[in-house]
Structure 1
Amino acid sequence: MAAFIIVVGVLFNPFAAKAEEFHWGFKKATGGVPPNAGAALESILERHGAIYKGKPDEKIAYLTFDNGYENGYTESILDTLKNEDVPATFFLTGHYLKSAAPLVKRMVKEGHTIGNHSYNHPNMASASQQKVEEELKKFDELLNQTAGVQRTSYFRPPEGIFSETLLAQANELGYRHIFWSVAFIDWHANKPKGKAYAYNELMTQLHPGAVILMHTVSPDNAEALPDFIREAKKLGYEFRSLDDLVLEYENLNSIL
């Protein structure tokens, strides 16, 4: 009887089954040297095909934007991308799809990629498997209704919080996690720091293979983006889509 009680205790202990949560992070890049997330995180991402940067010896950068809600600056960002002929990926939420449908349609029309940032922006690492699937698929269903995109392939967990269980489940559902290698505090809509702040952060952290994360709620980013793109191009950088990055990753792994 004692042995049975112990087994039951293990099976029904909620703490024993809880997946370990990780908060994505790294030491910022400087001098054009790509950041390193550390052996532990690198190993976890590698096991599940998650990506946060490209090749360290090619001057290629990838622009990504997280859009939880619209604050009036996305149109300017889209204008810049169009004028500079630069592709980007916009990781959207369900709220954004519902509240900014015309902008979503424009993103798709102009050839940008839509990424899945979940429907309700919860902590996905602590969500049940049923909730995870619901968040991802509900977003895709609304995206299809809104802009005619059948489904998304790239997922970015809210606040960069993830677990190995989440990575594995996302893979099973057909999503690849995309993190980032360039970021700065730019999500406080009511605390702008100015165009120079965003520009300097972007230029200081720029490195070959950079996956750049910006939030569209910031006027700083909208104002700095044109100068940043033009200066990066002068330095020999080319901006490509996440599809190119994923293809590069898959080709490299097929060789290895």
Structure 2
Amino acid sequence: MKKTRILCVWLTLCFVLFPLTANAASLDRPYNFGFQKSKSGKLASIDYEGFKEILQRHEAIFLGDTSRKELYLTFDNGYENGYTTKILDVLKAKQVPAAFFVTGHYVKDQSELVKRMVNEGHLVGNHTWTHPDMSQISNEKIKDELDKLKQSVVSLTSQKEMKYLRPPKGTFSERSISVCKELGYTHVFWSIAYKDWDVNDQKGSGYAYKKIIDQLHPGAVILLHSISRDNTEALGKIIDSAREQGYVFQSLDSMASRNY
């Protein structure tokens, strides 16, 4: 009889504790953002990536309003490679708003460029202070990474709030994305991108142009890395061609709705 009671208690604990453990493990499962690219104007998709419901639940951005021919131009600025001034010149000449996701290294090393981004009407987003894997650090460390970057931008520029975040390398977990949301951040992923970050594998402006133009679709969030020579040289032509197709470039702040 005593053994039976012990067994019952043990089974009860298993039923109570195992779901809690399993749930915690699920929240910490790391994801690397990926997507099915657009072809022939069709929408990009994350239907088969395994994290669509997480992004929906936490109101992350992947696509804007797909009923409108709107584009959202975003840049990742981990370090400066000599091209951001030209990028800003093109955006100013074409009157195109953009979002620049910067790291602590970038803010410290390129304070004048960060000021210029804000002064010319662009958004500066949080790409964390030290560019860590967000799925592998504690909640406290996540807060520290984001707060430190935000305060450095606030003290440097006239931008006094920061509400957009791009996790380094697109890596996240449900826990990390939830913590960031509680801190007031919206995750911004992308629906147009290509391998542009390898500075030793640049293939010419024509290559960059085709890679972006071939993926255009309504509501697209475009990810470009500012360290790419190809992106810089192709940017003006990309903007002109997109406009010729009826697209309008918008700020993330004007995004009316999000689709998945």
Q: Scaled by the length of structure 2, what TM-score is found?
A: 0.89
> Where does residue 159 of structure 1 map in the other structure?
169
> Where does residue 257 of structure 2 map in the other structure?
249
Per-residue deviation, 1:214: 0.1
1:1-256 paired onto structure 2 within 5 Å: 17=25, 19-38=28-47, 40-245=50-255, 248-249=256-257
Distance in 1 separating the partners of 2:165 and 2:155: 19
Per-residue deviation, 1:35: 0.8
Distance 1:160 1:101, change over 3 A: same
Which moves more between the two structures, 187-196 or 92-101? Answer: 187-196
Per-residue deviation, 1:38: 1.1
Cα deviation 1:14-57 (Å, max 9, x = unaligned): x9657011111011111111111016422111100001111222
Which moves more between the two structures, 220-229 or 41-50? Answer: 41-50
Distance in 1 separating the partners of 2:155 and 2:66: 39
Distance in 2 separating the partners of 1:16 and 1:73: 43
Distance 1:147 1:32, change over 3 A: same
Of all paired residues, the percent bearing the same amino acid is 46
Distance in 1 separating the partners of 2:151 and 2:244: 41
Distance in 2 separating the partners of 1:174 and 1:16: 23
Task: Please tell me the root mean square deviation across aligned C-alpha atoms, in Å.
Answer: 2.4
* Partners of 1:90 and 1:112 within 8 A in 2: yes
Structure 1 gaps, min length 5: none
Cα deviation 1:228-254 (Å, max 9, x = unaligned): 100111111000000011xx127x9xx
* Partners of 1:143 and 1:151 within 8 A in 2: no
Distance in 1 separating the partners of 2:225 and 2:140: 29
Per-residue deviation, 1:192: 1.3
Distance in 2 separating the partners of 1:234 and 1:150: 35
One-letter amino acid of the structure 2 residue matched with residue 225 of structure 1? L
Per-residue deviation, 1:124: 0.6
One-letter amino acid of the structure 2 residue matched with residue 197 of structure 1? Y
Distance in 1 separating the partners of 2:87 and 2:46: 29
* Partners of 1:141 and 1:151 within 8 A in 2: no
Runs of 4+ more than 3 Å apart: 15-18
Secondary structure in structure 2 of the residue aligned to 1:214? strand
Secondary structure in structure 1 of the residue aligned to 2:72? strand
Per-residue deviation, 1:142: 0.8
One-letter amino acid of the structure 2 residue matched with residue 189 of structure 1? V
Distance in 1 separating the partners of 2:75 and 2:160: 20
Distance in 1 separating the partners of 2:153 and 2:205: 32
Alignment length, in residue pairs?
247
Distance in 2 separating the partners of 1:164 and 1:42: 11
Structure 2 gaps, min length 5: 1-5
Q: Scaled by the length of structure 1, what TM-score is found?
A: 0.90
Cα deviation 1:61-112 (Å, max 9, x = unaligned): 0000000000000001000000000000000000000000110000000000
Which moves more between the two structures, 182-191 or 141-150? Answer: 141-150
Which structure has the greater CA radius of gyration? 2
